[in-house]
Structure 1
Amino acid sequence: MSDSVIDLGELRHGPDPDPLPRPPRAHGRTLRCALVVLLALVTLAAGAVTPSRPAPVTLPARPGSDVMIDGDLLLVMEPTSPRRQGRLAAYRLPDGEPVWQVPLSAEARYWGMTSLNGMLLTTGYEIGPEGRETRTIALDRATGAYRWQQPGTVTKLTDGNLLLRSGGETEPSSVRAIDPCCGTVRWQLSGVTADVTVRGDERGVDRVVLNQLDGPVEVRDAITGAVLARADLRPPDRGPIGLDLIDDLLLAVDRGSGAVTAYGLDRLDRRWTRTRVNVDFTLDCGPVLCLRTGNNELQALDPATGEVRWRSSRWGWAWPTDGRLMANISGIGPLEQYIVLDALTGRQLADLGRWELYQLGVGRLVGIRRHPDGGVLVGELDVGAAKTRVVDVLPRATGDCQAVTGYLVCSVAAPGSYQLWKLTD
């Protein structure tokens, strides 16, 4: 464990990313995992002595701030309040030396940050003449200088460009691909009355699907905007359908009749249909496709045929990791019990115990829980190896942690105080 500790003052202490929510719809979304925690390891950790650390560095940050670490920069985005304008500030790690800061609009509320090609992108909403408008602003990462802004929420494309989406629900949708350098539009669609779904993973988005309310489904190449397939997938009564994307399958869910039909994504060729199933939502479970039904059952289907491989009412969610599945059982408070399953059979391989789980980066997860002698126990979870490595005991931490790449930010015993721990590689 590194001996760097940075006191962040009062930071928003909701987990960011959230402690293992339902995996997002943008498929590639990724995410969860856990493993066997041996009693011997916990006992060993109870006697662990936290290494001495230098005096903490205090950084000015108000409650409700968002935090991100990008390389050697710690980025803190403070919200606007009735008495103070919001700001975005960068500090150099590990000492917390100020690098730059910029004010945020007093009429806006921004959340989330993304670093790409030497720029920092932040999305939020501003109050304009037509009401609340979602907007993305691009700043120079090195200096904080303003580069451009455009309406919509931003997602990286697989070719390094950006996809911006705005509207939806009661407003017409707009979709456009832009050059991150200066916001130049490469292709766009405006005034579309359709639900917009994207397929992507850690590399970025490569497909855009438009589900028109009173017309055909349209699949487009996200890089060029070219139409790859178009077909009317509505049921005979022309009722609405919901769409999910999992790998190369598009799943059309007709909740009225209780049917789910799988199509090949790029040609919309029909693969299979399952009837009399009350689908709550679908999940990417690696070698199988998971359905969560309305009667709280998790079903694993063969993605090629739609046949049920296994089913269970014990698990709430499931996520593919290292060729296996992690499933959970809801617990009390932030702790949930995590299980490792064989994806193809549903056979339980390990009981991981109860953790509050966080993702520190692609493929890296840690769990925390209160230590009986005070502070929190931190374990790194390796599903593929079916083991948990105890990273440390954070003696001053009281919980309320937030994950940022490679680090944990946790509240500590001092009122209104947070500390940043860098975890070992």
Structure 2
Amino acid sequence: MSDGVIDLGELRHERDPEELPRPPRSVGRPLRVALVFLVVLATVVSAAPLPRREMVALPAALGAEARIADDLYLVVEPTGLNGSQRRLDAYRLPGGELLWQVPLPVQGRYWGMSMQDGMLLIAGYEATAGDPPGTVTIALDPATGKFRWQQPGSPLPVSGGGLLLETGDEEQGRTLRVVDSCCGRVRWQAQTPGGQFTFRATESGIDRLVQSTADGRVEVRDASTGAVRAEADLWNPTDRRETGAPTDGPEFGVQVIGDLLLTLAGRPATVTAYDLDGLRLRWRTELGEAFYASECGPVLCFQGRSEELQAIDPATGRRLWTGRGWIAWSSRDGLVATRANSGGAMQLDVLDPVTGAVRGELGRWEMVPPSGLDGPVIGIRPQPGGGLLVAELNLTTGTARPLDVLREATGECQSIGYQLACRKPTGGYGLWQLRP
């Protein structure tokens, strides 16, 4: 499947079988009648149209934002003379029945809709006259649409419960605030100076927050309590001998992956790894060109601007392999890579994270955002003559299993298990039950 075409088979015209001895008349006539019946039956079956895939129509006006959160289909509709006001419509899935409609209390553009601890969270940009727009989060009762609370910032779930809301920027500093999902009550908040901000995300939510300043001060906080777990001047000249801080350079970045805090500095890049909670030096390595790191299963991936991908052993910093022209990311089932600058539907391959060997070539697919972590990985691509070819992508073996062809779908798809909601050419969305 290196050319990205899924072989669904082809029709062949077989040669007529060799002529058999003519049977007795008493046998031949019933046999000929049976053969004629089978031919007629086969003709009728082949001429019958394929059954149309049942679709539930989901409305969405032009310019509306539509998202799926659990079993709700949510549409933010522009209203008012200039479209700045917004109304939220909620439909129950899979039937598509309208549950409620409510006006949103803040003008602006909304882009985030999610369910957290039984609360429906709507996030977007708050429009303020004369000032740059800020972010805002509104919590609603998912059963009724009733307003619960509102806070500045966009929400991120915190391990152990609650939501992190961050406002501000790298130049002016930030306000970090963790609130209860139920009612917006503030658990803790802190003001941080200007500089970089990052965090560690786990399956249960964010558990560490990291703030770093231009003069080298790094602070690690517990996201649940706000307590400072570690702090150090990692690249202050007076601390270099102790911490093994990187050489000063024109670029500097801080990232958190697993239990490591990584600093990238200079050109060529020097990568230094520290224990996240203790900020003790673990290792340092020169990577030539690297400007960001990502988790690639059991290895660390470093991406360079020249489309060079380098895999590093997180325990020692030893380089394991290098690939050209790849952009890679980790999935729950394996390491997925796409050709750099592939554009549109991506050429997807599955790599062995330890060796870099290609395990399988999936071909060109656009991966559909799933509504949960446990559902199938769905890929789509345009079908000749219109519509979308839909397949289930196996990111362990690197194979694609065709599921359906949706003639009335154009894109902008979201999946809920083996259900797929996609934009229709006539407007709105459709919800299709795929063949599992």
TM-score normalised to structure 2 length = 0.80
In structure 2, the partner of 1:306 is: 317
Report how far residue 176 of structure 1 moved.
1.4
Determine if contact 2:174/2:192 at 8 Å carries over to the other structure.
yes
Report how far residue 373 of structure 1 moved.
4.8
Give the letter for the 2:363 counterpart.
Answer: G
Report how far residue 256 of structure 1 moved.
5.0
Determine if contact 1:35/1:352 at 8 Å carries over to the other structure.
yes
User: Following the alignment from structure 2 to structure 1, what is the Cα–Cα distance between the partners of residues 103 and 49?
Assistant: 42
Determine if contact 1:412/1:419 at 8 Å carries over to the other structure.
yes
User: Following the alignment from structure 1 to structure 2, what is the Cα–Cα distance between the partners of residues 343 and 207?
Assistant: 26
Determine if contact 2:115/2:121 at 8 Å carries over to the other structure.
yes
Report how far residue 331 of structure 1 moved.
6.1
Q: Which moved more, 1:203-212 or 1:385-394?
A: 385-394
In structure 2, the partner of 1:223 is: 224
User: Following the alignment from structure 1 to structure 2, what is the Cα–Cα distance between the partners of residues 55 and 256?
Assistant: 54
Report how far residue 316 of structure 1 moved.
2.4
User: Following the alignment from structure 1 to structure 2, what is the Cα–Cα distance between the partners of residues 243 and 42?
Assistant: 51
Specify whether residues 349 and 405 from structure 1 end up closer, same or farther in structure 2 by C-alpha distance, changes over 3 A only. Answer: same
Determine if contact 1:403/1:409 at 8 Å carries over to the other structure.
yes
In structure 2, the partner of 1:20 is: none
Report how far residue 252 of structure 1 moved.
0.5
In the TM superposition, what whole-angstrom CA distance separates every residue of 1:334-369 from its partner, at most 9, and x where no partner exists?
Answer: 111111111111111111111122232315321112
Higher relative contact order (CA 8 A, sep 6+): 1
User: Following the alignment from structure 1 to structure 2, what is the Cα–Cα distance between the partners of residues 262 and 289?
Assistant: 11
Matches within 5 A, 1:336-347: 336-347=346-357
Specify whether residues 417 and 189 from structure 1 end up closer, same or farther in structure 2 by C-alpha distance, changes over 3 A only. Answer: closer
Specify whether residues 71 and 238 from structure 1 end up closer, same or farther in structure 2 by C-alpha distance, changes over 3 A only. Answer: closer
Matches within 5 A, 1:369-388: 369-388=381-400
Specify whether residues 166 and 366 from structure 1 end up closer, same or farther in structure 2 by C-alpha distance, changes over 3 A only. Answer: same
Specify whether residues 401 and 239 from structure 1 end up closer, same or farther in structure 2 by C-alpha distance, changes over 3 A only. Answer: closer
Report how far residue 327 of structure 1 moved.
0.9
List runs of 5+ in structure 1 lacking aligned partners.
1-33
Give the letter for the 1:76 counterpart.
Answer: V
Determine if contact 1:326/1:338 at 8 Å carries over to the other structure.
yes
Give the letter for the 2:112 counterpart.
Answer: G
Give the letter for the 1:381 counterpart.
Answer: L
What percent of counterpart residues are identical? Answer: 44
Specify whether residues 305 and 128 from structure 1 end up closer, same or farther in structure 2 by C-alpha distance, changes over 3 A only. Answer: same
Give the letter for the 2:82 counterpart.
Answer: R
Report how far residue 91 of structure 1 moved.
1.1
From 367, 376, 384, the counterpart of 2:379:
367
User: Following the alignment from structure 1 to structure 2, what is the Cα–Cα distance between the partners of residues 100 and 35?
Assistant: 48
In structure 1, the partner of 2:7 is: 40
Q: Which moved more, 1:105-114 or 1:159-168?
A: 105-114
Q: Which secondary structure does the structure 1 equivalent of 2:7 belong to?
A: helix
Equivalent pairs counted in the alignment come to 386
In structure 2, the partner of 1:94 is: 94
Greater gyration radius? 2
In structure 2, the partner of 1:266 is: 277
Determine if contact 2:328/2:335 at 8 Å carries over to the other structure.
no
User: Following the alignment from structure 1 to structure 2, what is the Cα–Cα distance between the partners of residues 212 and 118?
Assistant: 37
Specify whether residues 248 and 89 from structure 1 end up closer, same or farther in structure 2 by C-alpha distance, changes over 3 A only. Answer: same
User: Following the alignment from structure 1 to structure 2, what is the Cα–Cα distance between the partners of residues 262 and 55?
Assistant: 51
From 339, 358, 362, the counterpart of 2:368:
358
User: Following the alignment from structure 1 to structure 2, what is the Cα–Cα distance between the partners of residues 36 and 321?
Assistant: 25
In structure 2, the partner of 1:152 is: 153
Give yes or no for the alignment of 1:121 onto 2:133. no
In structure 1, the partner of 2:166 is: 165
Q: Which moved more, 1:298-307 or 1:184-193?
A: 184-193
User: Following the alignment from structure 1 to structure 2, what is the Cα–Cα distance between the partners of residues 302 and 321?
Assistant: 19
Give yes or no for the alignment of 1:290 onto 2:301. yes
In the TM superposition, what whole-angstrom CA distance separates every residue of 1:106-136 from its partner, at most 9, and x where no partner exists?
Answer: 6322211111122111111223365422211
User: Following the alignment from structure 2 to structure 1, what is the Cα–Cα distance between the partners of residues 187 and 354?
Assistant: 42
Report how far residue 67 of structure 1 moved.
2.4
Q: Which moved more, 1:312-321 or 1:137-146?
A: 312-321
Report how far residue 87 of structure 1 moved.
0.8
User: Following the alignment from structure 1 to structure 2, what is the Cα–Cα distance between the partners of residues 222 and 392?
Assistant: 43
Give the letter for the 1:220 counterpart.
Answer: R
Report how far residue 419 of structure 1 moved.
1.7
User: Following the alignment from structure 1 to structure 2, what is the Cα–Cα distance between the partners of residues 370 and 55?
Assistant: 19
In the TM superposition, what whole-angstrom CA distance separates every residue of 1:267-290 from its partner, at most 9, and x where no partner exists?
Answer: 111111112522121111111111
Determine if contact 1:112/1:123 at 8 Å carries over to the other structure.
yes
In structure 2, the partner of 1:329 is: 339
User: Following the alignment from structure 2 to structure 1, what is the Cα–Cα distance between the partners of residues 223 and 3?
Assistant: 41
In structure 2, the partner of 1:67 is: 66
From 402, 421, 431, the counterpart of 1:420:
431
In structure 2, the partner of 1:251 is: 262
In the TM superposition, what whole-angstrom CA distance separates every residue of 1:117-173 from its partner, at most 9, and x where no partner exists?
Answer: 221111112233654222111111111111111111110011121111110133320
Q: Which secondary structure does the structure 1 equivalent of 2:288 belong to?
A: coil
In structure 2, the partner of 1:138 is: 139
Q: Which secondary structure does the structure 1 equivalent of 2:326 belong to?
A: coil
Determine if contact 2:388/2:406 at 8 Å carries over to the other structure.
yes
Give the letter for the 2:351 counterpart.
Answer: L
Specify whether residues 292 and 81 from structure 1 end up closer, same or farther in structure 2 by C-alpha distance, changes over 3 A only. Answer: farther
User: Following the alignment from structure 1 to structure 2, what is the Cα–Cα distance between the partners of residues 223 and 318?
Assistant: 28
Determine if contact 1:218/1:227 at 8 Å carries over to the other structure.
yes
In structure 2, the partner of 1:25 is: none
In structure 2, the partner of 1:394 is: 406
Specify whether residues 186 and 112 from structure 1 end up closer, same or farther in structure 2 by C-alpha distance, changes over 3 A only. Answer: same
In the TM superposition, what whole-angstrom CA distance separates every residue of 1:11-66 from its partner, at most 9, and x where no partner exists?
Answer: xxxxxxxxxxxxxxxxxxxxxxx99977434769xx9976445675453x222323
TM-score normalised to structure 1 length = 0.82
User: Following the alignment from structure 1 to structure 2, what is the Cα–Cα distance between the partners of residues 405 and 92?
Assistant: 13
